[in-house]
Chains A and B, each alone.
Chain A
Amino acid sequence: MTSETHAAVEAVVRIEWARLIAGLARYTGDLGLAEELAQDAVVAALEQWPGSGVPRNSGAWLMTVAKRRAVDQFRRHRELRLKYAQIGRALEVEGDAVTPDFDRAFCDEIDDDLLRLMFTACHPVLAVQARVALTLRMLGGLTTAEIGRAYLVSEATIAQRIVRAKKTLAQAQVPFEVPGPQERGARLSSVLEVIYLIFNEGYSATAGDDWMRPELCQDALRLGRILAGLMPAEAEVHGLVALMEIQASRISARAGPSGRPVLLLDQDRARWDRLLINRGLAALDRAEQLGGAEGPYALQAAIAACHARAFRPEDTDWPRIAGLYAVLTAQVPSPVIELNRAVAVAMACGPQAGLDLVDQLTAVPALRDYHLLPSVRGDLLMKLGRPDEARAEFERAATMTRNAPERELSAERAAAAAAAAGQAERAGESG
């Protein structure tokens, strides 16, 4: 056997982590306990593998060690008897030897466990922030420190959030299972929402110095792809994956050399990742074939696909995009979607038509702090030759975002609008 570096062992652990947690959660019925046992097994691996080499069936090795720890603990702490009784029985039935076929034999079961873990981590009894943290920790295999860095909060905050989430699940006696048909739709929505929230935090960070955190997008994409493998018949899962793949295809084109945002129509489309676009279009196809063309994620993916299919901005099918937004806004009434529809209408029918729609949104409370509202309004006013008003809108947009590169972009557009206004004034004087 070859010796392994610490980093190599950690990579194996990261790959196996979600399945390990999922399997142990089913055995113990307790996510907190599952994580403790998994952590114990990881410590053992970090001690032994660097010398002995990574075993061929590393997942089974970790699982067996974790279950042995469970039994050890049970013997030492009689008060935990109830909790561990279940594990003991399972072990007796199965025997505690690592069999070479462990992985194979448990393949389908592991899939089911992973799905249970997804639904449990995204359970509605938890606050949305807790669902996100739990999902990244248990399924994404991120450490609390990594999650903290991604969300610009301290590791302690994330650790606390996860501890509380596990406690909440235990207190609410949330069963470790895939919900039955009645609950399924709503519960799946929660899972999809959590994955897309993670993606969006990476795609346009709400705060901080980086406009994007691509690693978070990739974590979300991976979770989406895993879910699509576990629930291949669910159209909206494919819709979400399609949306994320197509949006992710633009990642390297959406930031300029200095990390500043580049607007969709200004992006160098040659830098869009064609592989991700093709994967996205294929996923959208699957969603539509499964009868899910009108699902909210599939609709958003279809809109993203309109952009992806256009090799030049002027090839964009704006009327179709405006139409898709109209269907979407009927399905999920949201002022943000309405704002997007206004942009599409402006492109399809001219800036005044877009502005008329935007002006209906300025009084909507939900958009009061949404920086893209003044940003869009400013853009349309510029196109209508009203730079003075546009400048005021861009200045407002700059004060409304906590993301530094976004703020700079808005400030720059305000300056450009001011310059245009000055020019117009001078032209007026001389004429």
Chain B
Amino acid sequence: MQFFGYTLGDPSVPTAPPTPELFEEMGKFIEEATKAGVLLAAGGLAPVEEATKVIRSEGKFTVVDGPFAEAKELIGGWALMEVRDKDEAIEWTKRFLAIAGDGESTIRQVFS
């Protein structure tokens, strides 16, 4: 089964830029998860200031550029995993956070 995992963060709270060590560790982790056949796809998202909302209301479209004042919890990075059960998805997420540091990841099963 597939799980979609994403990290949530508050963009108004400043975070230190990742160190080269973190980059290297994360690279190794991604390689390991890919080679284990678990990581199908992953990516990061550009800052929310660059985001755009497309809204349809009563048949009319509105396009709004960011930043958005109300946004507190925003998706930072995401990953699509193929695992045998939810517990495996949790374990891989723990391994990710062990490298990424304190924070929060949400995992949701992908309907097939």
Binding site for B on A (CB under 8 A): 7-8, 10-12, 14-15, 54, 56, 104, 107, 111, 214-215, 218-219, 221-226, 229-230, 251-252, 273, 275, 279
Q: Given A225-B37, A275-B40, is A215 in contact with B84 using a C-beta cutoff of 8 Å?
A: yes
Closest to A12 in B: B91
Chain B contacts for A225, CB-based, 8 A: 34-37
Q: List 26 A-B contacts (CB under 8 A).
A: A8-B87, A8-B91, A10-B87, A11-B88, A11-B91, A14-B88, A15-B88, A15-B92, A54-B94, A56-B98, A104-B28, A107-B28, A215-B84, A219-B84, A222-B37, A223-B37, A225-B34, A225-B35, A229-B34, A229-B35, A229-B37, A230-B35, A251-B112, A252-B112, A275-B41, A275-B80
Q: How far, in angstroms, from A428 to B90 measured CA to CA in the complex?
A: 67
User: Least Cβ distance of A270 to chain B in Å?
Assistant: 14
B82 touches A218 (CB 8 A): yes
Chain B contacts for A11, CB-based, 8 A: 85, 87-88, 90-91
User: Least Cβ distance of A203 to chain B in Å?
Assistant: 14
Given contacts A15-B88, A229-B37, could you give 16 more A-B pairs where the C-beta distance is less than 8 Å?
A7-B85, A7-B87, A8-B87, A11-B88, A11-B90, A12-B91, A14-B84, A14-B88, A15-B36, A54-B91, A222-B38, A226-B35, A226-B36, A229-B34, A251-B112, A275-B41
Q: How far, in angstroms, from A224 to B41 measured CA to CA in the complex?
A: 16
Specify which of B37, B40, B87, B91 is in contact with A226 (CB 8 Å cutoff).
B37
User: Least Cβ distance of B27 to chain A in Å?
Assistant: 12
Q: How far, in angstroms, from A214 to B98 measured CA to CA in the complex?
A: 31
Chain A contacts for B88, CB-based, 8 A: 11, 14-15
Chain B contacts for A224, CB-based, 8 A: 37
Report B81-112 residues with CB < 8 Å from chain A CB.
82, 84-85, 87-88, 90-92, 94, 98, 112
Chain A contacts for B41, CB-based, 8 A: 275
Q: Is the interface of A mostly helix, strand, loop or mixed?
A: helix
Q: How far, in angstroms, from A223 to B38 measured CA to CA in the complex?
A: 10
Q: How far, in angstroms, from A8 to B92 measured CA to CA in the complex?
A: 11
Chain A contacts for B34, CB-based, 8 A: 225, 229
Report B29-63 residues with CB < 8 Å from chain A CB.
34-38, 40-41
User: Least Cβ distance of B89 to chain A in Å?
Assistant: 8
Closest to A241 in B: B37
A-B interface pairs (CB < 8 A), number? 57
Closest to A232 in B: B35
Chain B's interface size range is 20 to 34
Q: How far, in angstroms, from A226 to B35 measured CA to CA in the complex?
A: 5
Chain B contacts for A7, CB-based, 8 A: 85, 87
Closest to A222 in B: B37
Q: How far, in angstroms, from A229 to B88 measured CA to CA in the complex?
A: 20
User: Least Cβ distance of A251 to chain B in Å?
Assistant: 7
Closest to B38 in A: A222
Q: How far, in angstroms, from A69 to B50 measured CA to CA in the complex?
A: 57
Closest to B1 in A: A218
Which of B38, B84, B90, B98 has most A Cβ within 10 Å? B84
Q: How far, in angstroms, from A223 to B36 measured CA to CA in the complex?
A: 8
User: Least Cβ distance of B23 to chain A in Å?
Assistant: 15
Q: How far, in angstroms, from A279 to B80 measured CA to CA in the complex?
A: 13
Specify which of B1, B35, B80, B91 is in contact with A15 (CB 8 Å cutoff).
B91
Chain A contacts for B91, CB-based, 8 A: 8, 11-12, 15, 54
Q: How far, in angstroms, from A10 to B84 measured CA to CA in the complex?
A: 12
Chain A contacts for B92, CB-based, 8 A: 15
Q: How far, in angstroms, from A214 to B82 measured CA to CA in the complex?
A: 12
Q: How far, in angstroms, from A96 to B112 measured CA to CA in the complex?
A: 46
Closest to A111 in B: B35
Q: How far, in angstroms, from A225 to B40 measured CA to CA in the complex?
A: 10
User: Least Cβ distance of A147 to chain B in Å?
Assistant: 13
User: Least Cβ distance of A238 to chain B in Å?
Assistant: 14
Across chains A and B, which 6 residue pairs bring their CB atoms closest together, nearest first?
A229-B35, A225-B37, A11-B87, A222-B37, A11-B88, A11-B91
Chain A contacts for B98, CB-based, 8 A: 56
Q: How far, in angstroms, from A218 to B85 measured CA to CA in the complex?
A: 12
Chain A contacts for B87, CB-based, 8 A: 7-8, 10-11
Closest to A221 in B: B37
User: Least Cβ distance of B21 to chain A in Å?
Assistant: 13
User: Least Cβ distance of A144 to chain B in Å?
Assistant: 16
Q: How far, in angstroms, from A7 to B98 measured CA to CA in the complex?
A: 20
Chain B contacts for A252, CB-based, 8 A: 112
Q: How far, in angstroms, from A123 to B112 measured CA to CA in the complex?
A: 35
Q: How far, in angstroms, from A230 to B35 measured CA to CA in the complex?
A: 8
Chain B contacts for A275, CB-based, 8 A: 40-41, 80
Q: How far, in angstroms, from A15 to B29 measured CA to CA in the complex?
A: 14
Q: Given A15-B91, A275-B40, is A221 in contact with B35 using a C-beta cutoff of 8 Å?
A: no
Q: How far, in angstroms, from A33 to B85 measured CA to CA in the complex?
A: 28
B40 touches A279 (CB 8 A): yes
Q: How far, in angstroms, from A226 to B84 measured CA to CA in the complex?
A: 15
